[in-house]
Chain A
Amino acid sequence: MTFERLPYLAAFLLLVVGLYAIVAKRNLIKVIVGLLVIDYATNLFLILVGYRSNSGGAPMAPILTRDLAPAQLAAHAVDPLPQALILTSIVIGLSVTALVVAMAIRLYDRYGTFDTGRMRNLRG
């Protein structure tokens, strides 16, 4: 168990916590919370994968500011690609959340509760 893999473990723990919420909880809102946690976990994992430690100090964002030379940036900045992927992934997570909340309030409308134990097909 070295430090260099510990952050990955945290990301997977988060993923598992989200899965646990979805499998074990019988409440639509709790399930949505689980979904949010899973989103966090995947985004966290991606950013961890792209991180590059900068020996000279704080990690360098891949943005070319006035006092930086492009070569300097290329040698020290963190990986910009996972950031682009996470941007997309956050948006997808938000979209799914919007849709699932719409379904949850519609189901509340039908049953008067968020409890899946009272719903016919979601019990199992």
Chain B
Amino acid sequence: MRGMSLIVKNTTRLVAGFIALFGAYIVLYGHVTPGGGFSGGVIVAGGLVLVVLAFGEEFSRRVISHNIVRASDSVGALAFLGIALLGYLAGAFFSNFPDWLGQPRALASGGTIFLSNVAIGVKVAAGLFGVFLALALFRRRGEKRLMVPDTAPLDAEDEE
């Protein structure tokens, strides 16, 4: 995948940052306005997908390594589970334990809701972007793999 024309690339340069920013906003303000970790995560993933579509995979590999994408998928999920387990230690599984619940409609309100939103946002963005990469980069058997020297192929762990 080579990427698209110059016009598309330039537009993407302009737009991608805004998309990511918008996604982050949706994640962070999920407990106050419509949206939340999940939709925000999908928007961030969409922005990344746009970059990959416009610039081609080699470019994106240089910017974000797949290992990091996969790892942050796990980290986001573990963080969410960790919030639940912290609640378990503080009394009940998933209890909203912090006492800095704050004023309604403020950014720092809602206790663990805010943290959960962030964890889910990271998890969803990384997971969906990872799946998109895996789907987009899948090549038919026998087709030549384009290898970039400093990055590992998708199933590098199996090359013994």
Contacts and interface: CB of A to CB of B under 8 A. Distances in A.
Please tell me whether chains A and B touch each other in their complex, using a CB distance cut-off of 8 A: yes
Interface of A: 61, 63-64, 66, 87, 91, 94, 98, 101-102, 105-106, 109
B135 interface: yes
Contacts of B105: 66
Nearest to B141: A109
B38 A98 contact: no
A105 B104 contact: no
Contact of B38 (A63, A66, A87): A87
Contact of A102 (B36, B128, B135, B140): B135
Contact of A91 (B34, B38, B104): B38
Main secondary structure of the interface of B (DSSP, over half): loop
A64 B105 CA distance: 9
Contact of B131 (A64, A87, A102): A102
Interface residues of B, number: 13
A109 B36 CA distance: 37
Contacts of B134: 102
Nearest to A87: B38
8 contacts: A61-B34, A64-B104, A66-B105, A91-B38, A98-B135, A102-B134, A105-B138, A109-B141
Contacts of B104: 64
Contacts of B135: 98, 101-102, 105
Given A98-B131, A102-B135, 9 more contacts: A61-B34, A66-B105, A91-B38, A102-B131, A102-B134, A105-B135, A105-B138, A106-B138, A109-B138
Nearest to B105: A66
Given A64-B104, A105-B135, A109-B140, A98 B128 contact: yes
